[in-house]
Amino acid sequence: MSKKIGDVILDVQNISLRFGGVKALTDISFNVREREIRSIIGPNGAGKSSMLNCINGVYQPQEGSIVFRGQTFSQMNSRQVAEMGIARTFQNLALFKGMSVVDNIMTGRNLRIKSNLFMQAIRNPFGIGGAQREEEQHREFVEHIIDFLEIQAYRKTPVGQLSYGLQKRVDLGRALAMEPKVLLLDEPMAGMNLEEKQDMSRFILDVNDEFGTTVVLIEHDMGVVMDISDRVVVLDYGRKIGDGTPEEVRSNDEVIRAYLGTTN
């Protein structure tokens, strides 16, 4: 691989997050460089998803700050995060169940739509008001994503009817529709068979390669993590216990201890 890893784009500094008495994250710091694939691993309940939720503004950490492209935030606002170009997929499918595949992915374009409510109300095939033209342009973009993810056959299908693996692809598609700088993926391959995992790994690598998208990946499958990550952070009980290249992490004693009995 000849990709060029750039400067730090996302810097997590001393983040602590508590839910009542539960310390989900304790003083976590790590950074993510432009165009790298940065994995977060750790046993169940280690705080991986909570970490992404802090970056997304879904959870507000009690301490610490997050620096994105030079701007420092002590709290993230979801809308602003989306506007800055951070997209996200979910561990437990979080698709819009009542909508078709196309519409789900189209929601990823919503931030870019300029037509206001009145222009949308008078949407018409004659181009008056401009809403129709805008819809068509975004639809075209979405079709590229549908082609890329090889889900052409399911465009109009309500997402609830798709298999789990395909739903995971739609989730990725919705995030990609935002044309993000940074893509946060929460266990995109959980529950998949080998073939589906290979497809998903390929999509992630392609996105990273072709569009230079930075990827933060939570994954339990060590094979996949070791194969595609540039660097890995290891969490355990809300603390960081390892950080480095896959080789460094693999030979870290504390990591081995934390993982004894929990990996299979």
Partner 1 sequence: MIYQENGQLKISYRADQQIFPILQDRWAVLAILALAFAGIPMLADEYLFRAILIPFLILSLAAIGVNILVGYCGQISMGSGAFMAVGAYMAYNAYVRIDAMPLIGALLVGGASATLVGMFFGIPSLRVKGLYLAVATLAAQFFCDWAFLRIGWFTNNSSSGSVSVSNLDVLGWTVSSPLEKYLFCLSFVVVFALIAKNLVRSAIGREWMAIRDMDVAATVIGIRPMYAKLSAFAVSSFIVGVAGALWGFVHLGAWEPSAFSIDRSFQLLFMVIIGGMGSIMGSFFGAAFIVVLPIVLSQLVPALGALVGLSISTAAVSHIEAMVFGALIVWFLIVEPHGLAKLWSTGKQKLRVWPFPH
Contacts to partner 1 by CB under 8 A: 56-58, 78-79, 81-83, 87-88, 90, 94-99, 103, 106-111, 113, 115, 117, 120-125, 131-132, 135-136, 139-140, 143, 174-175, 178
**By 3-state DSSP, what share of the chain in percent is helix, strand and coil, each rounded to 5?**
40, 25, 35
The answer to the question of residue 22 lying near ligand ATP (CB under 6 A) is yes
* Residue in 45, 130, 158, 244 binding ligand ATP, rule: CB under 6 A: 45
* Rounded Cα gap, residues 134 and 138, in angstroms: 6
- Whichever of 26 and 115 has its CB closer to partner 1, that residue is 115
9 contacts 33 by C-beta, under 8 angstroms: yes
User: Chain centroid to CA 140: how far?
Assistant: 23
- Whichever of 142 and 235 has its CB closer to ligand ATP, that residue is 235
Q: Which option in partner 1, Mg ion, ligand ATP, none does residue 122 bind, with CB closer than 5 to 8 A by kind?
A: partner 1
Q: Which option in ligand ATP, Mg ion, partner 1, none does residue 96 bind, with CB closer than 5 to 8 A by kind?
A: partner 1
The answer to the question of residue 252 lying near Mg ion (CB under 5 A) is no
The answer to the question of residue 91 lying near Mg ion (CB under 5 A) is yes
Q: Which option in partner 1, ligand ATP, Mg ion, none does residue 46 bind, with CB closer than 5 to 8 A by kind?
A: ligand ATP
Place of tokens 């018409």: 124
Q: Shortest Cβ distance from residue 181 to ligand ATP (Å)?
A: 23
- Whichever of 121 and 256 has its CB closer to partner 1, that residue is 121
- Determine the 3-state secondary structure of 79 from DSSP: helix
The answer to the question of residue 146 lying near ligand ATP (CB under 6 A) is no
Structure tokens belonging to residue 33 = 């460089």
93 contacts 171 by C-beta, under 8 angstroms: yes
Structure tokens belonging to residue 47 = 């705080």
Binding segment for ligand ATP (CB under 6 A), chosen from 4-12, 46-54, 132-140, 221-229, is: 46-54
Q: Which residues have CB under 8 Å from 185's CB, separation 6+? A: 88, 89, 172, 175, 204, 215, 216, 217, 218, 219
Structure tokens belonging to residue 162 = 């798709």
- DSSP code at position 96: -
* Residue in 10, 12, 24, 170 binding ligand ATP, rule: CB under 6 A: 24
* Rounded Cα gap, residues 135 and 115, in angstroms: 9
Using DSSP bridges, classify how beta strands 37-41 and 214-218 pair: parallel, antiparallel or unpaired. parallel
Binding segment for ligand ATP (CB under 6 A), chosen from 40-48, 158-166, 169-177, 192-200, is: 40-48
Region 65-94 residues binding ligand ATP, contact defined as CB under 6 A: 91
- Whichever of 79 and 202 has its CB closer to partner 1, that residue is 79
φ and ψ at 172, to 5 degrees? -65, -40
- Whichever of 134 and 219 has its CB closer to Mg ion, that residue is 219
Which positions touch Mg ion (CB under 5 A)?
Answer: 49, 91
